[in-house]
Amino acid sequence: MTGSVLIIGASRGIGLRFAETYAADGWEVHATTRTPDNPGALGDIAGDVSIYELEVCNLGQIAALGDVFEGRGLDVLIHSAGVLRGVSRDEMRAINADAPLDVVDALMPAVLRGKDRKIVILTSQMGARNGGRTPSADYGASKCLLNDRFRDLEPHWRTQGVRAVVFHPGWVATDMGGAGASVSVDESVSGMRQVIDGLELRDSGRFLTWKGTEHPW
């Protein structure tokens, strides 16, 4: 089974691996990077891969990406872009909590024209309250806000036949996770791919781990 997939934040890490695996499986891959003139490993992927410029806080670029898909369907939308450190609290909130939903908003018409109607957003276990207090550190707070917004909006998406989930990808050995992380990029992405491939409408609204197990909010 193949189709079209758009991966937001595919220059490196988890997003890059998603692009590589979908392209290897013969999908029509659309991938974004902040540096399309210097795409690095993303530019080396063989197959049907189109690359677009996107700084996820740039609303003009998000709108332009939406225009690319005008009149076209998009089967799977994966938002991987995120940041853990090196930016202010406000910037972190903009990148991790605002941008994914701005992107979904702009691409929703294309997703609704797609045959699969799947939306996947990368969150983190650090954004979970686990029944307790709201995370106070910048990263956890931004992912917690993302989760809250997702839970608020997803039921409306579901009424339109969209299957949307958020994932904790594991502690993954990317630039963000560091070399000592317990889960390889391959393991994380192949686990999430398996879940995404089998996503049904009844799964929509769930917070899942890369293994497909339920994560507490």
Ligand X SMILES: NC(=O)c1ccc[n+]([C@@H]2O[C@H](COP(=O)([O-])OP(=O)(O)OC[C@H]3O[C@@H](n4cnc5c(N)ncnc54)[C@H](OP(=O)(O)O)[C@@H]3O)[C@@H](O)[C@H]2O)c1
What's the token pair of residue 52? 């677009």
Strands (DSSP E) contained in 85-210 are 118-122, 163-168, 207-209
Residue closer to ligand X by CB (options 104, 172) is 172
Taken as a whole, the chain contains a residue count of 217
The answer to whether residues 54 and 34 touch, using CB atoms and an 8 Å cutoff, is yes
Contact between 56 and ligand X (CB under 6 A)?
yes
> Per CB under 6 A, which of residues 6..45 are in contact with ligand X?
9, 11-15, 34
Contact letters for ligand X, residues 59-78 (x by CB under 6 A): --------------------
Burial 165-185 (b: 16+ CB within 10 A, else e): bbbbbbbbbbebbeeeeebeb
- Side chain identity at residue 62, one-letter code: I
Per-residue mark of binding to ligand X, 159-198 (x: CB under 6 A): ---------xx-xx-xxxx---x-----------------
31, 65, 77, 83: residue in contact with ligand X (rule CB under 6 A): 83
Q: Cβ 82 to ligand X, closest distance in Å?
A: 2
Cα–Cα distance for residue pair 67/63, rounded to 1 Å: 6
Contact 63, 55 (CB under 8 A): no
Helices (H) and strands (E) in the chain, counts: 6, 7
81 binds ligand X (CB under 6 A): yes
Chain positions 121 to 150 lying near ligand X, rule: CB under 6 A, are 122, 124
In this complex, which beta carbon is closest to ligand X, that of residue 4 or of residue 174?
Answer: 174
Least distance CB 35 / ligand X (angstroms): 6
In the bound state with ligand X, the residue whose beta carbon lies nearer, of 85 and 156, is 85
Among 4, 80, 147, 209, binds ligand X (CB under 6 A): 80
